[in-house]
Amino acid sequence: MLNIRKDDHVKVITGAYKGKTGNVISVDKKNKKVTVSGVNVRKRHEKPSQTNQTGGIIDKEMPIAISNVMLLEGSTPVRTRRIHEKGKPSVRVSVKTGKEI
């Protein structure tokens, strides 16, 4: 079970984009990858289509390994743990502070 979800604020902890922060755009559970806004941006050639009338070269965020990002609580990266209680859905909790995220 992955502890990073869509719209979470994360920080890249390793790789070429180390230190950058952004919001998670999408999570690929099968391949354990996340797409973060403003991180791992590549140029892609697109044909004109219904959604993109002009086409051309666009900047697109590409996925990175989920192990390369950490969830941010405030401005500090934190490890998370899941707490399971009977009859309630599981919640993510910060390991350091014990606060629910």
| Fold adopted by 9-72 | SH3 type barrels. (2.30.30)
Instruction: For the chain, give every domain's residue range.
Output: 9-72
Residue that has been written with the tokens 């979800």 in this structure: 5
Contacts 24+ apart (CB under 8 A), 92-98: 92/3, 97/73
- Please state, in angstroms and rounded to a whole number, the distance separating the CA atoms of residues 37 and 100: 24
pLDDT, tens digit (0-9, with 9 covering 90-100), for 34-47 = 999 999 999 999 99
pLDDT, tens digit (0-9, with 9 covering 90-100), for 9-39 = 999 999 999 999 999 999 999 999 999 999 9
Q: Of 47, 66, 69, 72, nearest to 57 (Cα)?
A: 47
What pLDDT is attached to residue 97? 87
Strands (E), the chain: 9-12, 21-28, 33-36, 41-46, 56-61, 64-65, 69-73, 76-78, 80-83, 91-94
